[in-house]
Structure 1
C-alpha cells in the first residue's frame, strides 16, 4: 500500500505515523526524543525512528514509504532542509533532510517548522478547512503562529513568518528570551499562566490547567490571572488581524484545552478591541489536537511526490501505537 512517513519532533517526545494516499493513518507510534543525551543523540533517535518506520511499512504494507516529512521546532530552513537552531534540542545547522534521505534509501524528504506544519494540517484537514485565510496560534510553552493563505502556509522571506509570540504587548514587561520585554508569550502562553498562577496561589506545582479549574470554581485570584492573560492575548491577536485580515483565528495548544473557559472571554476581549475598519474573524478551537504536527508532516511528504496532499484523514491508526511519554 502506497504511504509516506510522517514525524513530529518535540522537545521531549516524537510522534510518528505512516500515512496513506487518502490521509488514512496506517500506523502510529511515539518515542522519547532523548534530548538529555545531547543533540547528536537526538538526531540519531530521529534517524533510527524513521528507519524503523520504513521497515514497518515494508513488513506490514508491502512496500517502503514513497517519501517522508518531518516537523521540528526552532528555526528551520525548509528550502535547504536544515534545522538551523533549536534551544530545547541543543542542535545547530543540522542537515536533517539529507541525513534522513540517506537513512531512508534515498527517498525524498520534506523538512518543516513544527507550528507551520501543524497549521498546514489544520488548514487542510481541521478547523481551517475551507478558509481562504486563517491564522493558527497554538498556546503552549511559547506562542507562535502559522499564516494560512489559499491552502498554503506563508513561511516569510527568511523563514520566520508568524512569530506572533514576540509581538510586544506590554512594553517594559517581563523579560523574554528573545531579548525584548513584554512579549506576548511571556504573558499569555500556557507556561506564563502556570508561572503566574503558581505565584498567586502559593503552590509552586500549580499549572495553567489548575488555574482554569480555579477560574471555573470562582476563585478571584485565578480569575485575575486568567483575565490578564486573555487581555494580553487579545492585544496580540488584534495586531495580527489588523495586519493579516484572516477569516478564521484557530487557537490550539495546551491552554485551548480549557475550552469555553478560554474562548468565551477571549472572543469578548477581541470583539471589544475591533474598530470600524476591522472585521472580526471567527475564533475557533483547533480540531486536530496534538496530532496536527504529525498529520502536517505527512502532508508535506505527499506534496513532495504528488503535488497535492490528501484532504481528509481516514480511520484511526493501530490501536496500540507503542505509546511513550508525550512531549
Structure 2
C-alpha cells in the first residue's frame, strides 16, 4: 500500500506514523531522541528511526514509503531541507533532507518547522478547518506561531514567519535568549508561568499546571501570576491579529490545557484591547501533541502531490489526516 513516513522530532522524544491514502494511520511509534548523548547522536537516532519505519512499511504493507515528512524545532530552511538552528538539540545547519534521503535511497523528504507543521495540521484537520485565515499559537517551553492562509502555512522569506514569541511586549523587560528584552515568551509561555509561580509560592518544583490549579481554587497569588501572563499574551496576540486579520485564533501547547481557566480571561483581555480590529474566534487547538506528527504526514503527501518538488504548494486534493483518539 502506498504510504508516507511522518516523523515529529521534539527536544526529548520523537513521534512517528506510517500514513496511507486518505490520511489513514497505518502504524504509530515513539522513540527517545538520545539528546543526552549530544547533537550528533540525535541525528543518528533520527536516521535509525527513519530506516526502521521504512523497513516496517515493507514488512507490514509490502513496500517502502513513497516519501518522508519530518518536523523539527528551531529555525528551519524548508526549501533547502536544513535545520538551521535548534537550541534544545544543539544543532546548527543540519542537512536533514540530504541525510535522510541518502539513508532511505533517495525517497523525497520534506522538512518543516514543528509549530508551523502543527498549524498546517490544525488548519486542515483540526481547529482551523473552514477558516481561510488563522493564527495558530503554541504556548509551550517557548511560544511560536503559524500563519494559515488558504490551506497553506506561511514560511516567510527566511523561514521565520510566525515567531510571535519574540514580539516585544514589555520593552526593556526580562532578557530573552534571542538577544532582545521583554519578549512575549518570557512572560506568557508555560515555562515563564512556571518560573513566576515557583517564585510566588516558594516551591521550586511548582509549574504552570500547579498555578492553573491554584487559580481554579481561588488563590490570590496564583491569580496575580496568571493574569500577568494573560495580559502579556493578549498584548502579543493583538499585535498578531492587527497585522494578519485572521478569522480564527487557535491557541495550543501545554498552557492551553488549562482550558477555560486560560481562555475565559484571555478572550476578555483581547476584546478589551481591540479598537478598529475585528475580534476573531479564539479557540483551543484540537489535535494536542499529535499535531506535529500529523503535519509531517501532510508535508510528505504534499510533496508527492506536487511531483516531489519541495518548493511547490499543496494539491487542492491533498488529503486531510485521520486524527488519533486522545
Q: TM-score, normalised by structure 1?
A: 0.95
Listed as ranges, the gaps of 5+ residues in structure 1 are 318-327
Listed as ranges, the gaps of 5+ residues in structure 2 are 307-314
Counterparts of residues 292-303 of structure 1 (less than 5 Å): 292-303=291-302
Per-residue deviation, 1:29: 0.7
**Contact 2:72/2:114, CA 8 A, preserved across alignment:** yes
In structure 2, how many angstroms separate the alpha carbons of the residues matched to 1:315 and 1:265? 30
Per-residue deviation, 1:80: 0.7
In structure 2, how many angstroms separate the alpha carbons of the residues matched to 1:78 and 1:126? 23
Per-residue deviation, 1:78: 0.6
Counterparts in 2 of 1:239 and 1:315: CA distance versus 1, 3 Å = closer
Per-residue deviation, 1:35: 0.9
In structure 1, how many angstroms separate the alpha carbons of the residues matched to 2:249 and 2:274? 14
Q: In the alignment, what sits opposite 1:127?
A: 127
Q: In the alignment, what sits opposite 1:194?
A: 194
Per-residue deviation, 1:316: 5.5
Q: Secondary structure at the match of 1:156?
A: coil
- Consecutive aligned runs of 4 or more in structure 1 exceeding 4 Å deviation: 314-317
Deviations 1:125-147 (A, max 9, x none): 10001100000000000001100
Q: In the alignment, what sits opposite 2:284?
A: 285
In structure 2, how many angstroms separate the alpha carbons of the residues matched to 1:27 and 1:130? 28
Counterparts in 2 of 1:49 and 1:257: CA distance versus 1, 3 Å = same
Q: In the alignment, what sits opposite 1:30?
A: 30
Counterparts of residues 1-327 of structure 1 (less than 5 Å): 1-275=1-275, 277-307=276-306, 308=315, 309-313=318-322
**Contact 1:118/1:295, CA 8 A, preserved across alignment:** yes
In structure 1, how many angstroms separate the alpha carbons of the residues matched to 2:258 and 2:270? 18
Moved more, 305-314 or 116-125: 305-314
In structure 2, how many angstroms separate the alpha carbons of the residues matched to 1:242 and 1:314? 32
Deviations 1:188-221 (A, max 9, x none): 0000000000000000000000000000000000
Larger relative contact order (Cα-Cα within 8 Å, sequence gap ≥ 6):
1
Moved more, 10-19 or 299-308: 299-308
